[in-house]
Chain A
Amino acid sequence: MRWLLVKDLQLLRRSPLVTGLLIVYPIVLAVLIGLAISRSPEKPRVAFLNQIPSGGGLNLGDTGFSQDEARRELCAKIECVDVSSRAEVEQKVKDGDVLGGLILPVDFISKLQGELSTNSSEPATVDVIVNNDDPLKAQVVDDRIRSLLTEANLLISEKISDVAGNYEKILAEGGSFEIPFLNQTVHILGLRKAEKLLNQVESSLPPDKRAQVAEVSGFARLARQNLALADSLLSSIRQPIAVNKDVIAGSVPPLDTFAVAVAAAITLLFVTVLLVSGSLALEREENTFTRLTRGLVSRTALLVEKATLGTAAALVVTLLMLVAITPFQSIEWSRIYLIIPAILLAGAASSGLGLAIGAAAREVRASALLAFALALPVAFISLVPSGTVSKGLLDVIHVIAGVFPFRPAVDALSGALSESGPNLGLPLLHLALLTVGYLVLARLALRRFA
């Protein structure tokens, strides 16, 4: 078996394209993944047309938003490309120069002001212009705009809540405030002082009037006490829904680590399956299978040799990839004692799949085609998260993903790369069982291999 392994390595050395691919593929993938996860998402470019007359701002009591302030807030979240007309917005969107267009109409502030002060039924609206030529882009723009509007609404409600809280304080404790638009300062006595004054005058009143004054004084006390409760009420308006997250199943690694695990598993799966299936099919194409198994090596030993080759290649390629990704994403190399077993078992299971494919296809080209045709959709559906498809379909996906090594390889690598990842035991056992199962399948398929 040792000499067969040496022979396969010699053959690899004689195939510079395949060997080059084995080295370049993980490095290129690592660099791409590294660049993707190390750069924060870029701000979407949005054409911005502000038709509001200059100087106009939103007044909320003694506070509000100036146009400059609002623009700063908005352009912190998107890359605002200033334009001068609606036609220019439409052209930029159409040309793909910007992801979308945002137009603040002339009457936007006045309508918003009216809505806030007089409960006007006409809502303030912004115009959004998008190009729905790409469903993914359309979804991104839609999500982004919804998110911006939610943030804007939240900001306004926070300001309103602050203003209302201030009014409530003045009403209870007394003080002064400015009336918007009139530029006039008003002094408010406050409920506490009113109650105090009433209590003072109560003793000097005739007994038949005291009860009435005591009633008014009691009302002032009760009103002040209840206004104190308004603070928490206003807070709840500011953020009506709070999140309390309970994790009932699964432990997830950081998203970046998960991305590295997925990239490593894809690399490992493709390289190993293609290498092993091709190597086994080559024995038949070269007519050497019968010569070898006539007494030089058993069929099972031949399969074990190919699986060893695949597992060794998986180890080298995956470690190479992790090393290449290290400048972009911190890898916890202190967990190497977990990373290596995860790679080895993922490599063994992928080799097993490669053997089954190679034994079934019997030709190098057919095996490569079959390997791609199987590995690509399996990797794709294995990443479908629960809740995004119906339960029945999800069950089917789980079954399909469970009989292929990709998903357990991702879980094993996630668990090995990060402490907060899934427990390693189950995925490693899963991979070991898949290895044995695929070896049995390949051994059966070899009956009609020669």
Chain B
Amino acid sequence: MSEADRVLEVEGLSKSFGERAALREVSLDVGRGELLAVLGPNGAGKTTLLSILAGIAKPDSGRIDRSNGEVGWVPQQAALYRRLTVEENLRLFARMEGVEDIEGTIERMLDQTGLEDRRHDQVSSLSGGNQQRINIAIGLLGDPSVLLLDEPSSGLDPSQRIRLWEFVAGLSKGGTAVIYSTHQIEEASHYGDRLVVLADGETIFDGSFAQLRRGAGPRPEGTAADPENDFVRFLRKKGH
């Protein structure tokens, strides 16, 4: 990856909560427009890593280089004012982000999320999927080069999930690097250019899904070709 393409560089991140090590020496690079899935079982350190990358939590040690652009952050639960309308939420956060062309940005976000016709609706009246789209749109207001999504599809039904990933894929095509955490290997295999697998705070894999499947070894006879089985086999092989 060339220096110009790299939008985020992380080196040796460690973080402990008391006796428990949440992250141990995690390093990664992210390039422009890349879709990076951070995978791992519960308690692997996914949310801690994203919180540190977002600047919400501080690492005990390690280095983060965000010099090639802003980092946008989208929390797992929609962080929106449910009694305000879609447009009012976008306008409020655009103002607070210091966006210059507020009305133009609102129109762009409404177009991107496909919610122009719902602009005057209170957020509380939107479906979970649409709330998540506004949630992501607010993360994009500062025009970040990297967007962090913490388990963006949790709580969404299958059709909402598909629409969400189409939206995220569109962002990636537009040049925004997207780092998202998930524990659903199927999603990661479909919508991740690259997968980083964390277990007990350590990086145990960094590569494509095809590489992970190869790393998992041969499929036992009688088992279906299923990304989830491949992932579990991989984790067991690595001792997790």
- Nearest residue (CB) in B for A1 is B96
**B contact residues around A295 at 8 Å (CB):** 55
Residues of B with C-beta under 8 A to A292: 96
Q: Which residues of B contact A6 (CB under 8 A)?
A: 92
Contact in complex: A286, B96 (CB < 8 Å)? no
Is B84 a contact partner of A14 (Cβ separation < 8 A)? yes
Mask of A291-332 contacts with B, CB within 8 angstroms, 1/0: 110111100000000000000000000000000000000000
A10 at the interface (CB under 8 A from B): yes
**A 208-250 to B, binary, CB cutoff 8 A, 1 in contact else 0:** 0000000000000000000000000000000000000000000
A294 engages B73 (CB within 8 Å): yes
Give A376 Cβ to nearest chain B Cβ, in Å: 28
CA A450 to CA B54, docked complex, whole Å? 14
Chain A nearest CB from B46 CB (Å) reads 16
Q: Point out the residues of chain B lying under 8 angstroms from A3, CB to CB.
A: 92, 95-96
- Bound complex: CA of A4 vs CA of B96, how far in Å? 8
30 sample A-B contacts, Cβ–Cβ < 8 Å, listed by A number:
A3-B92, A3-B96, A4-B96, A6-B92, A10-B83, A10-B88, A11-B81, A11-B83, A14-B83, A14-B122, A15-B83, A286-B79, A286-B80, A287-B75, A288-B79, A288-B80, A288-B81, A290-B56, A290-B79, A291-B75, A291-B93, A292-B96, A294-B55, A294-B56, A295-B55, A296-B93, A296-B96, A296-B97, A297-B96, A450-B56
B139 to chain A, nearest CB (A): 8
Query: Does A7 lie at the interface of the complex (its beta carbon under 8 Å from any beta carbon of B)?
Result: yes
Q: How far is the CA of A39 from the CA of B77 in the complex (A)?
A: 56
The smallest beta-carbon distance between A292 and chain B, in angstroms, is 7
Complex Cα gap A241–B79 (Å): 73
Q: Which residues of B contact A287 (CB under 8 A)?
A: 75, 77-80
Within 8 Å CB of A286, what residues of B?
79-82
Q: For residues 190 through 222 of chain B, which have their beta carbon under 8 Å from a beta carbon of chain A? A: none
Chain B residues touching A, range: 20 to 34
Interface 1/0 per residue, B61-92 and A, CB below 8 Å: 00000000000010101111111100010001
The one of A15, A294, A297 in contact with B54, judged by C-beta atoms closer than 8 angstroms, is A294
B135 vs chain A, min Cβ distance (A): 9
Smallest beta-carbon distance B33→chain A, Å: 24
B79 in contact with A291 (CB, 8 Å)? yes
A295–B93 CA distance with the chains assembled, in angstroms: 12
- A139 and B56 CA atoms in complex are apart in Å by 62
Q: List chain A residues, Cβ under 8 A from B56.
A: 290, 294, 450
Q: Which 3 A-B pairs have the closest CB atoms?
A: A287-B79, A291-B79, A14-B83
Q: Which residues of A lie under 8 Å from residue B84 when comparing CB positions?
A: 7, 10-11, 14
Which chain A residue lies CB-closest to B138?
A291
- Measured CB to CB, the nearest residue on chain B to A287 is B79
Which chain A residues in 1-50 approach chain B with CB under 8 Å? 3-4, 6-7, 10-11, 14-15
Contacts of B95 in A (CB 8 A): 3
Nearest B residue (CB) for A297: B96
Chain B 92-133 interface mask (CB, 8 Å, partner A; 1/0): 110111000000000000000000000000100000000000
Q: Which residues from chain A contact B55 at a C-beta distance below 8 Å?
A: 294-295
- Chain A residue nearest in CB terms to B97: A296
Please, how many angstroms separate the alpha-carbon atoms of A287 and B138 in the complex? Answer: 13
- Min CB distance, B181 to chain A, in Å? 16
A252-308 residues with Cβ-Cβ distance < 8 A to B are 286-288, 290-292, 294-297
Expressed in whole angstroms, the Cα–Cα distance for A291 and B140 within the complex equals 12
**Complex contacts, B80 vs chain A, CB 8 Å:** 286-288
Residues of B within 8 A of A291 (CB): 73, 75, 79, 93, 138
- Measured between alpha carbons, how far is A7 from B90 in the docked complex, in Å? 12
Chain A residue numbers with a CB within 8 Å of B96 are 3-4, 292, 296-297
Kindly provide the distance from the CB of B66 to the nearest chain A CB, expressed in whole angstroms.
Answer: 12
CB neighbours of A14 from chain B (8 A): 83-84, 122
Residue numbers in A under 8 Å from B97 (CB-CB) = 296
With both chains docked as a complex, state the minimum distance between the C-beta of A302 and any C-beta of chain B, in angstroms.
Answer: 11
Specify which chain A residues have a CB less than 8 angstroms from the CB of B81 in the assembled complex.
7, 11, 286, 288
CB-defined contacts of A15 to chain B, threshold 8 Å: 83
Instruction: Give complex CA distance A295, B75 in Å.
Output: 14
With both chains docked as a complex, state the minimum distance between the C-beta of B102 and any C-beta of chain A, in angstroms: 11
- Closest Cβ–Cβ distance, residue B174 to chain A (whole Å): 22
CA distance in complex: A369, B88 (Å): 30
Instruction: State the Cβ distance, A180 to closest chain B Cβ, in Å.
Output: 86
Q: How many whole Å from B108's CB to the nearest CB in chain A?
A: 20
Q: Shortest Cβ distance from B96 into chain A, in angstroms?
A: 4
Q: How far is the CA of A297 from the CA of B93 in the complex (A)?
A: 11
Tell me, rounded to whole Å, the shortest Cβ–Cβ distance linking A160 to chain B.
Answer: 77
Extra contacts besides A287-B79, A296-B97 (6): CB < 8 Å:
A7-B88, A14-B122, A287-B77, A290-B75, A290-B79, A296-B93
User: In the bound complex, how far is the Cα of B84 from the Cα of A290, in angstroms?
Assistant: 18
Looking across the interface, which residue of chain A has its beta carbon closest to that of B73? A294
Q: What's the nearest-Cβ distance from chain B to residue A192, in Å?
A: 96
Q: Complex Cα distance A6/B96, Å?
A: 12
Closest chain B residue to A15, Cβ basis = B83
A4 contact set on B, CB distance < 8 A: 92, 96
Kindly state the separation between the CA atoms of A309 and B154 in the bound complex, as whole angstroms. Answer: 35
